[in-house]
Structure formats: structure tokens, C-alpha cells
Structure 1
Amino acid sequence: MTSQASLEGKVAIVTGAGRGLGRAMARALTETGAAVTVAARTSAELDSFVDEAKAAGGQALACPTDITDEASVQRMVEATVETFGRVDILVNNSGILASTPLVEQSADEWDRVVATNLRGTFLATRAVGPHLLAQRSGKVVNLASNFALQGVANHAAYSASKAGVIAFTRAMAIEWARHNVQVNAIAPGYFATPLNAEIRSDAESLAKVVRAIPARRLGEADEIAPWLLLLAGSASDFMTGEVVVIDGGQSVR
């Protein structure tokens, strides 16, 4: 799929792009010809990505962003349009995880998870929307999770927020289909990223996770790139409201 995708002349925004899956997806977009705004809270990680992209001949802009703050998200979109002249692709990847039994979970922790994972997706999509609708073309790719599709103890906030992302994806797909804007989602399972570094650092915890995955391994960050490029490129022009699950078979057990 990667070889079939060409995003020359396209402009993308990737949130949560400092590391992990976000960084891998941003790299795939620059390697396929897109100019990319990388957004996250940590400037140093974004700056290193921009240096890497430019060294390889790509175009990238670092934009430190609080995805839960309306004004910060609006500045992210405005900076993208100012720098590159347009925006065509939004990848809503910012997310945080909380592993807490519900009766022990504070309202503040619940709110942080939902604000980042669901409110952030709403804010970024709404901010980009007028540009996509005006040009009558665009792609929105939302990062959900296989936790949204199955019961997972101690992850109520994360699972609920990601299920909300799926519902949001489907609603926006219907709303924007007539404007030639496609909205789809990717639902990853366990990938080897900083988000689950604590689990991977403990042999017993890692073995338990791997036993629950029929493929008997974690995903690698680069394995998500071909699916992102499919959903960000012209191959998905007649595909909207779909959720692509990439989890080694875990959610179909």
C-alpha cells in the first residue's frame, strides 16, 4: 500500500507526534511527500522530528500544542495554513492512558483522559473542518483503540473515550461525506511505544499481554504507516466511517 500512495502537495497535521505511533505516522507522511505539522506538548521532541524530516528532504513544522485547549488548537491550525498555505489531512493521535479501578479513579483523572482523547479529537477536527469543507476535499484519521471494542478491566475512562472517538468518527463521516471529506479511524492494539513502556519493562506483565494476543507479539510502530497512508490518500476516497483494527487478533478472541 505504501508504494501506491503519493501525497505530494498535501499538507497534514499530526497530533501527539513527538514519539511512538504519532511520530511514526508523521514520518510516513513526510516520506510520501506531504508537508507535516507535528503537534504535541514537548517542544524538544517536535524539533528533533523537524530536523530529521528536513535532513531527509521533507517539510515539517513543529507546533507545541495543548490539544485540550481550544485556543492552542486553533493556533496549531492557523500556523499550518500560514506556513504551508492549506491543510488536507488531520491525524488525531494525541492520547493518554490511565489504568485505574473505577472505584479508585478520581474525577480529575477521568476528566484528563476524556479531555485528551475525545475533547482533543473534537477540537482539532472542528478547527480543521472549515478548511476541508471550503476546498471540498480532505481526510481525517482518528486514533481509537481496540479497548473501545472489548471489555478491559481498570480502563473505563480510556475505553469510554476511545469508544467515543469511534462514534465521533462515524457521525462526522456522515456529516461530511457530501463535501468529499472522508473520516475514518484506526484502532490499534498493543504496539511497542512509550505509552506502554511500564508494561514492557516488566517481564511478567509483558508475557501476560502477549498471551492475550493471538499473534503472540506486540505491533511495531512502523506497521501502522501503510494503513495511515491508505486512509490519508486517494485510495480511500470512497471509504468513510470505517474503523481499521490492527491488534494481532486480540479483539476477535
Structure 2
Amino acid sequence: MKPFSELLSLAGRTAVVTGGASGIGLAIARRLAGQGAVVCLVDRNEKVAEIAASLGSQHCGVHTDVTDETAIKTACSTILSQLGHVDILVNNAGIALIASAAELETSAWDLTMAINLRAPFLFARALGPAMCAKGFGRIVNIASQAALVALDKHAAYGASKAGILGLTKVLAFEWGPSGVTVNAISPTVVETELGKQVWSGPVGDAFRAQVPTGRFAQPDEIACAVAYLVSDAASMVNGENLVVDGGYTIR
């Protein structure tokens, strides 16, 4: 029996993290790099390569627009040229455009779906078949508690994240026989810099009071969940949604 620490090691693995230049994505990249993986950050931030290099000279960054299918194809080609192959894909890039259903603009709906649902599919379609061909791969899609319960003014966001859960199950079913596991993580509010701004004041206090643990999540808590799912310790976990919400959705 291997030591648990050995099962969690990502030494020799390569990983792609979309939305990796800040927030949850950067926390994930740091955690995977800390476990030994060589990481490629994908982000619209033009300084993404510089941010990746701050993790270590072996890591890389690719600037792209995840709403553009052609740009994603180009990004994946660049990733493969730099990493050689991809073992791990973390679809983290996301957007939350908050409005009541009656006031939600069609353009906001379309943009939400393009970033939160279509882009993860496009990245998986571009990189997954090669994982299947070599008999190993780990894909983690970042969903949300909004995929599980109704949240006010989250029509587009909740629908996109519910779609992520459906996509996760189908990919897990189709690619599991080839050694590729596909799972999702559904966080509660995460205290990134943006999250702190959005959920500050009375609104945040009221929401936090509904979480049994009495607090929101920290970025590295999501990163640790990702690190587990992409490791050998989770080799039998496939098609699952790991809810990291302090118990908010158990009510």
C-alpha cells in the first residue's frame, strides 16, 4: 500500500488551469504546482505568462479569449507545444452576471453560457481525446452551489453551472473506460478579492449566516479539493460533484 502522501503527489504530471491568473484559479495553480505538477495558466489577463513564471520557471501562461472557439483551439495548440502533453485540465474560468430573470439581457445570458459552459466543453474536447489515447487523464470542472439550489438573480449563472454538472457526467461516462476521470466541484461563496467585494456588508452577512460552518470558503480550500480529485488518491472517483459549501445546500 502506497503512503497517502505519495498518492497525492503530482510529480511528472502536467496541468492546465483556465482562469488561472487570479482568484480561485491561481490558488488551484499554486496548489497543483506545490504538489509537483508543471502548470499552464490560461487567462484573458495579458500578464498571465508573468504570473505563471512567479510560480516557477517551469510553468507557463497562455493569453486567450475563452469566448472564441478559434482562440481556444490556438491556445490548446500552444499549450501542447509548451507542455508536450496534458494530464490534468481544470475548467475554472467563469463569470457571474447577476440580474433578475425578468431583467436579464440576452447578451448577458449568451456571454455567461459561452464562458461557463461552452468553453469547458471546448477545452475538454480539444484535450480529452489525447488523454484517452494515452490511458490517463483528470478533468475537474468548477461548478457552483447555484447548480443545486435556487439563488436570487442567478438565472444564467445557475443554469450554466447546472449544465456543467450534466457535461461532467457525460464525459465521465464516455471517457472513464479510457482512464480519464471527470468530476466537478461546487463551491459556496469563495473569499477571493472579488468575492470579498461582492459579498461585503449586510447581504454577505445574511448569506454567511445561512452556512452551517458560519463562514465562506477560502480559495485554497477549493484548490485542495481539486488537488485531491486529480491525484491517484481519487482514481476511483468519477462523474461526481464534490460540494464544498460548509453545508449550505444540506437544508
Bucket of the pairwise TM-score, normalised by the shorter protein: over 0.9
Q: Which residue pairs with 1:168 in the alignment?
A: 167
Q: Which residue pairs with 2:197 in the alignment?
A: 198
C-alpha displacement of 1:199:
2.5
Q: Which residue pairs with 2:42 in the alignment?
A: 39
C-alpha displacement of 1:218:
1.1
Residue in structure 2 matching 1:228, options 210, 226, 237: 226
Percentage identity across paired residues of the two chains: 36
For residues 11-54 of structure 1, what are the alpha-carbon distances to aligned partners after superposition, in whole Å with 9 as ceiling and x for unaligned? 1100011111100001111111111110110122x234223211
Spell out the pairing of 1:1-253 with structure 2 (5 A cutoff).
4-44=7-47, 46-54=48-56, 59-200=58-199, 202-253=200-251
The residue identity in structure 1 corresponding to 2:139 is V
In 1, the alpha carbon distance for the partners of 2:201 and 2:154 equals 21
TM-score (norm 2): 0.94
In 1, the alpha carbon distance for the partners of 2:207 and 2:159 equals 20
TM-score (norm 1): 0.94
Tell me the C-alpha RMSD between the 2 structures: 1.5
C-alpha displacement of 1:194:
3.7
- The question of whether the paired residues in 2 share the 8 Å contact of 1:34 and 1:59 is answered with no
In 2, the alpha carbon distance for the partners of 1:93 and 1:191 equals 13
In 2, the alpha carbon distance for the partners of 1:50 and 1:128 equals 20
C-alpha displacement of 1:203:
1.7
**Which structure shows the higher helix fraction?**
1
Change (3 A) 1:70 1:135: same
In 1, the alpha carbon distance for the partners of 2:249 and 2:154 equals 15
For residues 150-184 of structure 1, what are the alpha-carbon distances to aligned partners after superposition, in whole Å with 9 as ceiling and x for unaligned? 01111010000000000100011000011110000
Segments ≥4 residues shifted beyond 4 Å: 1-4
In 1, the alpha carbon distance for the partners of 2:130 and 2:82 equals 14
C-alpha displacement of 1:136:
1.3
Structure 1 residue matching 2:128: 3-state secondary structure: helix
Q: Which runs of 5+ in 2 are unaligned?
A: none
Aligned residues: 248
C-alpha displacement of 1:4:
4.5
For residues 76-102 of structure 1, what are the alpha-carbon distances to aligned partners after superposition, in whole Å with 9 as ceiling and x for unaligned? 221122112111000000100011001
